[in-house]
């Protein structure tokens, strides 16, 4: 009896069955209620923390997400990012850093603030800087240490908003990664760019000045969907 049960469930040696693997996921831009997201990802602890229950992850990842007035985008983002991180069995914490008030958005300050806050929760192998309106389309995107330990890493090489093309070689925005040592070496992000844009190119220049070469996924893997939202702030001020 036991032999028959074993033969029924053991598919490791079945011919003609393809290997398990990662690939594109079926993401949707449909609005999700945050209560539903919390229920689907009940494994995530209060404060956006997750660690695999049955093994020890070799990497600790901090994910920084600047945010203001994009509640619908946030719930969609959280659903897909938690899903992806769990697939790869990573220990991580998500830091949603929100800007209040009526001043123009300052992404650089928010990233710097998130980094300082993250130090209260121990050491991290990799820091992920992630826009809230960007959704990874491929499960092969791995937010783990090997993607940023040797050099700063640019995940979002192909963004829907820009026709899934890399706009220029020095591009370093949307979704990126640095080690804490790299972040400290360039003194973090500039605090002087208000509204959308500017701080990414400034960071790219800081990395170049510090002889830190940017690596990235090719455009067949580093694909990110763009969630729709109204941009009330146009232009940039330095």
List of residues 6+ apart from 15 with CB closer than 8 A? none
Rounded Cα distance between 32 and 128, Å, is 24
Record the pTM.
Answer: 0.84
Of 234, 229, 231, the residue nearest 72 (C-alpha):
229
Per residue of the chain (238 residues), give pLDDT as tens: 333 333 444 444 445 544 444 555 566 667 778 788 888 888 889 899 999 988 898 899 999 999 998 888 999 999 999 999 998 889 999 999 999 988 999 999 999 999 999 999 999 999 999 999 999 999 999 988 677 778 999 999 999 999 999 999 999 999 999 999 999 999 999 999 998 779 999 999 999 999 999 999 999 999 999 998 665 443 344 4
At residue 6, the pLDDT reads 38
Determine contact, residues 188/129, Cβ cutoff 8 Å. no
Rounded Cα distance between 42 and 114, Å, is 24
Structure tokens at 4: 């028959």
At residue 230, the pLDDT reads 60
Tell me the CB-side half-sphere exposure of residue 36, using CA atoms within 13 A. Answer: 11
At residue 24, the pLDDT reads 59
SS3 state of residue 120: helix
β-bridge mates for residue 223, sequence order: 158
* DSSP labels, 146-195: GGTSSS-EE--SEEGGGTT----TT---SEEEE-HHHHHHTTSS-S--EE
The runs of H, that is alpha helices, within 17-173 are: 34-40, 71-87, 107-118
Q: Which domains does the chain have, with CATH numbers?
A: 26-228 (3.90.550.10)
Q: At 114, phi and psi to the nearest 5? A: -65, -40
At residue 221, the pLDDT reads 94
Rounded Cα distance between 2 and 58, Å, is 37
**153-154 and 215-216 strand pairing:** parallel
Of 67, 118, 111, the residue nearest 93 (C-alpha):
118
At residue 116, the pLDDT reads 98
Largest alpha-carbon pair distance within the chain?
74
């Amino acid at each position: 009896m036991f032999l028959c049960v074993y033969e029924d469930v053991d598919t490791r040696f079945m011919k003609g069955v393809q290997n398990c693997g990662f690939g594109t996921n079926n993401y949707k831009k449909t609005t999700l209620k945050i209560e539903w997201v919390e229920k689907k990802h009940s494994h995530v602890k209060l404060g956006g923390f997750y660690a695999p229950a049955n093994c020890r992850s070799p990497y600790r990842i901090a994910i920084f997400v600047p945010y203001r007035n994009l509640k619908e985008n946030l719930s969609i983002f959280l659903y897909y990012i938690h899903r992806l991180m769990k697939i790869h069995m990573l220990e991580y914490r998500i830091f949603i850093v929100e800007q209040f008030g009526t001043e123009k958005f300052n992404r650089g300050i928010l990233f710097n603030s998130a980094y300082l806050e993250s130090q209260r929760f121990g050491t991290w192998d990799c820091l992920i800087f992630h826009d809230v309106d960007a959704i990874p389309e491929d499960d092969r995107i791995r937010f783990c240490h090997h993607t940023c330990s040797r050099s700063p890493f640019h995940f979002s090489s192909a963004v829907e908003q820009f026709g899934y093309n890399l706009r220029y070689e020095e591009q370093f925005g949307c979704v990126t990664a640095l080690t804490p040592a790299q972040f400290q070496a360039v003194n973090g992000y500039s605090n002087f760019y208000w509204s959308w844009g500017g701080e990414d190119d400034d960071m790219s220049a800081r990395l170049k000045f510090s002889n830190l070469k940017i690596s990235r996924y090719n455009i067949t893997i580093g694909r990110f969907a763009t969630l729709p939202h109204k941009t009330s702030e146009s232009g940039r001020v330095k």
